[in-house]
């Protein structure tokens, strides 16, 4: 720069350009309009005057100092509505909750089903002495009623979202849903499955016994306790799977985040709501669901096969096979329809809850109705007949008691008359005895006198030879 002057300045000369820019960057002094300094691009750095148009006129509302970052606000600004406008779109999180209309429609139905289940259980226990109950494996009927109660309780558990449960307790709700629904399904459907399996084994043993020698027939006898052991085994399998799931990969509260949506209220023009959905999840959710569904699916298919095989079977001590088969068909259809739908719409909470609740309520109502109502009707009718018969017996008993009282009074009267007659008879007996005794004494005296005279006459009439013989003997 020592050998160059301004006259030699050229726009293509980078050396002069860099020298001028460096000089501008170092410029810093206090001038008449304020502090004078420049940016790296050559713009002067000074206070920025902020103006606002009010009623068609610009008014200064503040100053901003770029060098110090200070804002001098004059508080003369005016805004519609009295609030400052947003400088960006505000994103607010909003949890999706279950529709109250769906929840309030499903809960009463589930509660009525629970009452029906408990009433069926009490009926099954109290009427176990009747043959129609005794010959239908009443313990399995009780198991089915308990299982339906647990399944219907899940309608309430699935309806408990973040509006009813705090985040800390949500994981416990996830655990309760899984255990209650799984155990309830096994107790209810498992009881019916065990009935058709036991019937199928009896039929198979009967057919084999026709072609097996008589010495091996005893090997084909099926124990009466076998159905209960099978049901217990199904429960053990459920408990093992659920325990492994809980210990290795427990369910916990998870949040699904959706894209922000525009507000429906025009007043929230600068706000977008980001939907959040609470749900139960774990690290390997798909694998555990596949294990549970595979196991239950095999039970459903096996139950369908056994129900079809025993459709024409009639066994005296399992008198409800026909209704059990119908219940299995209904449960299978409902599961086939509802399970794929729940897998397709896992994050549409209202539709998901509706499908699950309807499937549970319908299957429990149909199963309880098919198993217990055909047993209740004849027993109730018979009890009405018995009550009418008992009423008739009570009336007859009252009439008999009245007649008995009359007979007792008449009997007492007759007893008094008989006692009076017996007294008279005893007096007559005494009189007769006195007369008979006096007459007998006179007769005895006369008889003794006549006997003595006859003996004396006989001795006088004896022959001389007899008297001589007597003398010789002497």
What is the per-residue pLDDT across 11-25, written as a single tens digit (0 to 9) for each? Answer: 666 777 777 777 766
pLDDT of residue 30: 65
Cα separation, 277 vs 257, whole angstroms: 7
Please state, in angstroms and as integers, the Cα–Cα distance from residue 201 to each residue in 233, 297, 306, 313, following that order: 17, 21, 10, 11
Residue-level pLDDT at 87 = 72
Cβ proximity of 306 and 200 under 8 Å? yes
Q: What is the mean pLDDT of residues 32-53?
A: 71
In tens, the pLDDT along 290-328 reads 999 999 999 999 999 999 888 888 887 788 888 999 999
Q: What are the tens digits of pLDDT across the range 105-120? A: 999 999 999 999 999 9
**Structure confidence at residue 84 (pLDDT):** 72
| Per-residue pLDDT at 447 | 58
Position with higher pLDDT, 323 vs 70? 323
Task: Give the domains, in start order, of the chain with CATH numbers.
Answer: 13-82 (no CATH), 93-377 (1.20.1070.10)
What is residue 130's predicted lDDT score, i.e. its pLDDT? 83
255 φ, ψ (degrees, to nearest 5): -125, 125
| Predicted TM-score of the model (pTM) | 0.66
pLDDT band for 460, please (50, 70, 90 cuts). Answer: very low
User: What is d(CA 435, CA 471) in angstroms, rounded to the nearest whole number?
Assistant: 51
- Average pLDDT, stretch 168-197? 92
| Residue range 331-349: mean pLDDT, rounded | 89
Q: How confident is the model at residue 469 (pLDDT cuts 50, 70, 90)?
A: very low
Q: Helix or strand or coil: residue 97?
A: coil
């Amino acid at each position: 720069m020592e050998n160059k002057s301004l006259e030699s300045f050229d726009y293509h000369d980078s050396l002069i350009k860099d020298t001028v820019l460096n000089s501008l960057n170092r410029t810093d002094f206090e001038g008449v309009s304020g502090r004078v300094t420049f940016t790296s691009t050559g713009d002067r750095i000074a206070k920025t005057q902020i103006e606002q148009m009010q009623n068609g006129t610009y008014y200064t509302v503040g100053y901003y100092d770029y060098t110090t970052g200070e804002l001098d606000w004059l508080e003369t600004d005016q805004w519609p509505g009295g609030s400052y406008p947003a400088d960006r779109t505000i994103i607010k999180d909003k949890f999706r909750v279950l529709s109250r209309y769906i929840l309030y429609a499903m809960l009463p139905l589930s509660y009525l089903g629970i009452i029906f289940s408990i009433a069926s259980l009490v009926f099954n226990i109290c009427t176990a002495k009747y043959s129609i109950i005794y010959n239908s494996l009443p313990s399995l009927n009780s198991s089915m009623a308990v299982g339906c109660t647990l399944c219907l309780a899940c309608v309430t558990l699935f309806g408990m979202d973040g509006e009813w449960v705090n985040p800390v307790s949500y994981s416990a709700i996830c655990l309760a849903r899984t255990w209650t629904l799984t155990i309830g399904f096994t107790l209810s459907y498992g009881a019916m499955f065990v009935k058709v399996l036991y019937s199928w084994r009896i039929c198979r043993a009967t057919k084999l016994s026709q072609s097996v020698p008589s010495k091996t027939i005893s090997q084909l006898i099926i124990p009466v306790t076998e159905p209960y052991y099978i049901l217990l085994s199904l429960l053990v399998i459920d408990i093992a799977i659920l325990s492994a799931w809980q210990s290795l990969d427990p369910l916990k509260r998870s949040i699904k985040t959706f894209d922000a949506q525009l507000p429906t209220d025009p007043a929230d023009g600068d706000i977008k709501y980001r939907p959040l959905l609470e749900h139960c999840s774990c690290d390997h959710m798909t694998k555990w669901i596949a294990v549970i569904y595979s196991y239950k699916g095999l039970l459903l298919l096996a139950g369908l096969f056994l129900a079809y095989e025993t459709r024409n079977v009639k066994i005296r001590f399992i008198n409800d096979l026909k209704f059990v088969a119908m219940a299995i068909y209904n449960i299978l259809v409902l599961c086939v329809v509802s399970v794929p739908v729940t897998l397709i719409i896992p994050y549409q909470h209202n539709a998901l809850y509706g499908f699950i609740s309807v499937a549970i309520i319908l299957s429990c109502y149909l199963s309880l109705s098919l198993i217990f109502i055909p047993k209740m009707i004849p027993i109730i009718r018979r009890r009405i007949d018995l009550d009418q018969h008992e009423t008739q017996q009570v009336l007859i008993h009252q009439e008999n008691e009245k007649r008995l009282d009359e007979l007792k009074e008449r009997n007492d009267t007759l007893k008094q008359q008989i006692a009076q007659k017996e007294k008279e008879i005893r007096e007559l007996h005494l009189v007769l005895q006195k007369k008979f005794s006096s007459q007998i004494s006179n007769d005895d005296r006369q008889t003794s006198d006549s006997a003595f005279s006859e003996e004396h006459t006989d001795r006088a009439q004896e022959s001389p030879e007899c008297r001589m013989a007597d003398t010789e003997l002497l």
